[in-house]
Amino acid sequence: MTLLRRQPPMRRVLLATLPCVAGSVYYFGWRSLAVILVSCLAAFLAEFVFCRRRKEPVSEAVFVTGILYGLVMPPAVPWHVLIVGIVFAIVFVKEAFGGFGRNVFNPAVAGRCFVYVCFPAAMTAQWTPVAQGPLGALAQWTPAGVDTVTSATPMALMKAGKFIPSAADLFHGMFLGRIDGTLGVTSAMLILIGGAYLLFSRTANRTLVITVILAYAALTQGLHWLGVEPVPNALPALLGGGFLFGVFFMVTEPVSAPSTRGGRVAYAVLIAVCTVVIRNFSIFNGGLMFAILIGNMFAPILDHAAKEWRKPVKAES
């Protein structure tokens, strides 16, 4: 029995994450890479236990889950929080439903939500400021002379009306990544490089990506123009809070997303609407991860509704 099941689409996703992995090391030091590797190792071992029992090879998708989960962790995440979350993702979100291809929810997103709720202090209270200088933190375990600080993220500050990003903030902070946040989602530029590869290689579904971005931007900008507080301008909302990372790497996860075109459009709009509501009107700043799980719940019925919607059209023709 082979140890790993070859999955070319999963390898393309792994390749697409490399810019974000490199960015995490550059901005936060080599501990970032250790966090990602430990996440992948724990995910592999958790899945191996079940696959050995079923006499099946481990899916290469487990490394995608491990990397994506690691990239949405805070730079100073405690090791026990990291491991508990990824093991929960593999055991209770993936293997409990029968393994690869049968999970209802996105494992990486569910694992992140689990630790976000169970360990709020470790996940939200303290942040490691990004390294400064041309070499960043490439020669450091963590940014030299920098300790974790108790502070709010830029998204939380925007929500509270205490931070209105300038053009410089948008470019140097949110686009290039010199801003506090989780390991791999601070730089919109690096996310877009990986996302572009996923789109051009036809690994990520274009309908999902385009619909989520357009629906989220339109609703956010519309509410902002209407003066609804605390909804920000659409551009910083798109660039901040890991929105683009979630869209390219998590919304497009094929197993938990609908398979019909109509279902995908409805799924994407649902996620966009839920993200706007949760981000701006709840106690949570990271609305996309909860929105994706809500979308996962509705994916089967959205597919069913899309198929039923097309039946009368076919009958008449």
> How would you write 114-164 as a 3-class SS string?
HHHHHCHHHHHHEECCCCCCCCCCCCCCCCCCCCCEECCCHHHHHHCCCCC
218-248 pLDDT, tens digit each: 999 999 999 898 888 888 889 887 899 999 9
**Under a CB-based contact definition with an 8 Å cutoff, are residues 242 and 188 in contact?**
no
Query: Is residue 316, in this structure, part of any structural domain at all?
Result: no
Spatial distance between the Cα atoms of 288 and 8, rounded to a whole number of angstroms: 27
CA 94/CA 154 separation, integer angstroms? 32
The model's confidence at residue 317, banded by pLDDT at 50, 70 and 90, is very low
CB under 8 Å, gap of 24 or more: what pairs does 214-217 form? 215/268, 215/269, 215/272, 215/273, 216/243, 216/272, 216/275, 216/276
| Cβ contacts of 273 within 8 Å, gap of 6 or more | 215, 219, 291
Average pLDDT of every residue of the chain? 89
Band of the pLDDT at 125, cuts 50, 70, 90?
confident
Q: Is residue 72 predicted with pLDDT exceeding 80? A: yes
| pLDDT higher at 311 or 135 | 135
pTM: 0.91
Q: What is the pLDDT of residue 154?
A: 61
For residues 163 and 95, give the distance between their C-alpha atoms in angstroms, rounded to a whole number.
Answer: 42
Q: Give me 241's structure tokens.
A: 């809070």
> Does residue 317 lie within any of the structural domains?
no
Is 260 inside a domain boundary? Answer: yes
As given in the structure block, the two tokens for residue 262 are 């109509």
How does residue 165 score in pLDDT terms, banded at 50, 70 and 90?
Answer: low
What pLDDT, on a 0 to 100 scale, did the predictor assign at position 241? 72
For residue 255, give Cα distances in angstroms to 99, 153, 217: 11, 31, 26
For residue 217, tell me if it sits in a domain.
yes
Nearest to 248 by CA among 13, 75, 7, 9: 13
Distance CA 284, CA 58 (A): 35
Q: What is residue 157's predicted lDDT score, i.e. its pLDDT? A: 58
Of 149 and 105, which is predicted with more confidence? 105
| CA gap 287, 242 in Å, rounded | 10
Task: Work out the pLDDT band at 134, boundaries 50, 70, 90.
Answer: confident
Inter-axis angle of helices 79-88 and 31-54, to 10 degrees?
A: 30
For residue 159, give both structure tokens. Answer: 């929500």
**pLDDT at residue 26 greater than cutoff 70:** yes
Give the pLDDT confidence score for residue 19 in this predicted structure. 97
pLDDT band at 151 (very low <50, low <70, confident <90, very high): low
How many structural domains does the chain have? 1
Please state, as a whole number, how many other Cβ atoms lie within 10 Å of the Cβ of residue 177. 23
For residue 2, pLDDT beyond 90:
no
SS3 of 67, please?
helix
Residue 144 has pLDDT above 60, yes or no: no
Q: Average pLDDT, stretch 152-167?
A: 59
Write out the residue range of the structural domain in which residue 92 sits: 4-307
Residue 172 has pLDDT above 50, yes or no: yes
Partners of residue 192 on adjacent β-strands: none
**What value does the mean pLDDT take over residues 150-161?**
58
- Predicted pLDDT at 292: 98
* Confidence (pLDDT) at 315: 47
Give CA–CA dist 118/106, Å, rounded: 18
Percent above pLDDT 70 for the chain: 88
Task: Report residue 33's pLDDT band, with 50, 70 and 90 as the boundaries.
Answer: very high
